[in-house]
Amino acid sequence: MKCMGQTSDVNVYDQNRKLLYNGLKEMGYDCVYPSGAFYLFVKSPEPDAKLFRTRLKSSISSSYRLTRFGCPGYVRISYCVDPDMIRRSFAAFEKLMAQYK
């Protein structure tokens, strides 16, 4: 019960949000900037968002959480990960986006 009444530093989540959002936007992904929570919505660059999610899952670390979350055409990506994981994943995101250009 040592954690009762304690708060965590949420700055790391804000930094992750900006890192992931800005990185993906620079690559050409269409993203919704999150105003809360810990998820970024990325518009699928192809009509079949499920197929995009499958390709993305096979390209990036399985530690990323990818879900559909009832928003057709989008994939929800959790950014509650180590910032280095986000940086390391950019090569895979970029390679995947190159397939759609």
CA atoms within 13 A on the CB side of 14: 4
- Which amino acid, 82? D
Task: State both tokens at 18.
Answer: 């900006």
DSSP 8-class letter at 28: T
Which of residues 60 and 39 earns the better pLDDT score? 39
Q: pLDDT tens digit string along 68-78?
A: 566 778 888 88
3-state secondary structure of 56: helix
What would the DSSP string read from start to end of 56-88?
A: HHHHS-TTS-EE-TT-TTEEEEE--S-HHHHHH
Using a cut of 0.85, tell me whether the model's pTM lies above it. no
Residue 76 pLDDT: 86
pLDDT more than 90, % of the chain = 37
Q: Is the pLDDT score of 96 beyond 80?
A: yes
Residue 31 pLDDT: 94
